[in-house]
A and B are shown apart, each in its own frame.
Chain A
Amino acid sequence: MPPLRTVRTVCPRNCYCTCGMLVTLDEHDRIRSIDGDPENPATGGHVCLKGLSYARRVTCADRLLTPLRRKPSGAGFDRVGWDEALGEIAARLTRVRDAHGPQAVLYYEGSGSHGALGALSMAFWRQFGGCTATYGDLCWPAGLEATRLTYGDNRHNHPALTVQSRFILLWGHNPAETNVHQWRLILDAQARGARVVVVDPRQTDSTDAADVHLQPRPGTDAALALGLARLIVEAGLHDAAFLGAHAHGFEEYRQRLDAFPIDRVSAITGLESESIRALALEYARTKPALLIAGFGLQRHSRAGQTMRTVALLPALTGNVGVAGGGWQYANLASHCLRPLPLPPEPPASRAFPVSQVARHLETLDAPPIRAAWIERGNPASQNPAAPRLRAALSRLGLLVVVDQFMTPTAELAHYVLPAKTLFEEEDLVTAYWHPYLQWRAKVLAPPGDVRPESDIWRAMCERLGFDTRYFPADRETLLRGLLPEDCACTLEDLKARPLDLSGHGDVAFADRRFPTPSGQVEFSSDEAAALWGVDPVPDYVPLDEGADAPARARYPLQLLSCKTRDRIHSQFGNLDWVREVERPHVLDIHPDDAKARGIADGSRAAVWNDRGRIELVARVTPGLRPGVVHMLEGWCHAGDPDVNALTAEGITDMNHGATFYECLVEVARA
């Protein structure tokens, strides 16, 4: 048998795991296996089903392999050569810029593929004279900011220390589906005697394996956190020594707790007083205790303040800087690369929040958006107000979409340019759960006429006579220059194994030095008040579209659109291998809510609010809290229901996030 070759690389999806991978190919460059890289201690020798599905994804029949141009009739596409496509795009972009200014062009990039080279797009746009871009993030920014305001930095303990925990509190987090490598470590800890408690309005694969499950009303987490804190302080179980040395504003915070007696917290959250008390006492008494928060509980308008209340519990109980303890939200230890060398930012740039693309396409003036370039994203399906967003994109004079597949966004384009996969260009990839920077090797040559985005941007610069020195022919040289200045390692070291270059060590804040304004854990944050106009001491404020909202008179059900293991948002859903093992696409509804509406299991249900209406099959399940309905997000193929027809273009109280989970609806038989 001819020899096989094995290449070490990394998965660049927007996912906790960022798995190190070993890809083995035969002499025809066919993928013979995809294995986990044992050199990555967090993900170990395993990838997940999505990582394995790359063996299908890179060669599947619906992959785009040539540039496409919309037919003159408007329906469908013709193949077109790169020269012709880029020449026409460059001419049309230039016409828009010259007539209306560079801000008349929207550049939108999503999180579809992580890598340092993604920023090369700005070498074009800055020389173009600027553009309109987006700021903020659809996913997680409020929690990042809350953690930064509280502890000074987004870093947490090394994942391997999870097994040292005696008590693991998963709050709005479902790692059995969304971080399967963390789940392995949690199961290992549980097997060694750790208690696992989950706070989640839904019954999930994580809650099934847990020792205790609390199902609060969505959006009431701040009340629960403040109520737990009050019980802990009342019982004298707070870590007075730690707080005396390392807490800023504890007294103001303590006064805030007076407003959260257990009866009130029980009424707000819908939880039994006894289960709240039991959680408070057990969490505070069992050391070390690890609190892991998901992203879900910060996808609403009070997100930042909510996350501050939850993030303070590990500090209150002295679980910070402790192996097996701590606060886990996101670990940005690997985000240590130097910025790409780019031309200076032109003054003519402008930007708007990414959760409000539809609104800004509709209303931006002086100048309105007339052309757009979209890559690594699928906003036509994945952003709030998706139907309006699609209509607005359809009205543009020019839409260019770069993607591997014909997504709902690409279907609206005038030009669709075929994108590389992770295996077809080298890059450096950071993570947000483990601390490792990883080398993404080029494993395969791009198939067909596919070009990496960096080549597309270089060609666009050439077309418009821009400086191309930002695009060296040798990507390794460019990437080598991004390693941190004081870095002792080389690119060759990174090719051999994932590396933690942070210098923080495995236990976050082991030195009890917190890079906040006070140098302490900030129970009260003047910075929060100054930056975001919020109360310096975090509070519970009911959601406008929440459990206590007057709007429930018309739309009584809270809709959550959660993530599962089969996809990263709308990615992977086109693959037959994934569809074969994925979860059913249904509306989960509690038997009480279903009965009141005459909805039977398996019947078709309509879900609507003032923003939109969709239909899908109902699954009547006692696993949900009554008053909550749920469907998975990320469906964007023919006939799929469009959850973002229902979601609002809200903004989180901090850091410009989206509010997908603040969404009241009514449901009826369709």
Chain B
Amino acid sequence: MSMTAQGANGAPGTGTAPAGARRVLSRTASRVLAAVTLAAVALRLVMGLFVAPSDSAGDPPQGQVYRLLFLHVPSAWVAYLAFGVTAMASILYLIPRTRGLQWDHLAGASAELGVIFTALVLVEGSLWGKPVWGAWWAWDARLTTTAVLFFLYLGYLALRRIGGSPHQRSMRSAIAALIAFIDVPIVHFSVTWWTTLHQDGSIFNQKMQVHIQDARMNAALIVGVVASTLVYASLCIARMRLLALEEGMEERELQAAIEERLAARRDPSASSPAPQPVVTGSTA
């Protein structure tokens, strides 16, 4: 399939810029962000795995296993952040004055990352829980709320895939995102209340935490939060751009197909997939 120099919408030379596909960051800014992100990740790995000392002051002490919290806590923060961003972007799309497809792309990209981070929170929580609690799972308030959040996200992503025009899909997704977002504080509150009902030291009120007794632990945690946020931001921006470009590509392909059909009708002797009978009656 050839894309001719005449852009489908009349813009000569380049292909039409699909709505919302303008770069959020310039090329150099993206590269800088990627470099900083990778550096932060490397730093957090070193600090979390090596520099921070083993936990010997906890009750009971957790030893080396607590290092999982350097991932678990930042991931939880990012999961909630991502959901919040999806909600904000959805609001911006719904308000007619600020409406723009880029908000829909942001909402979708952020939600995908939210699913990933939420899954990581749950798995890291389990991996922490087995050696420390003796069980793969406990109905800790945050963990349980995160589990609900995971399914809320999955539903949202499933809804996004289903068709209609970009605008219809964006409106529908935006409303769904807000409906789900309102639920998060309600879930958090009710689950927290639920777990406080059980005061018997059972699996219900185990807390997923470690006592921070060393400045290096603190530093590792902070670096972890920064690194995770940077990872989220850079992946989100990249994914946003991909969504915009893909949407543009679909539009373009559709336009190109229409153009071909129209061209074939005007001039049947030109190449065309299905030669049309000539209207004037002359035989080809």
Q: Do A and B come from one complex?
A: no
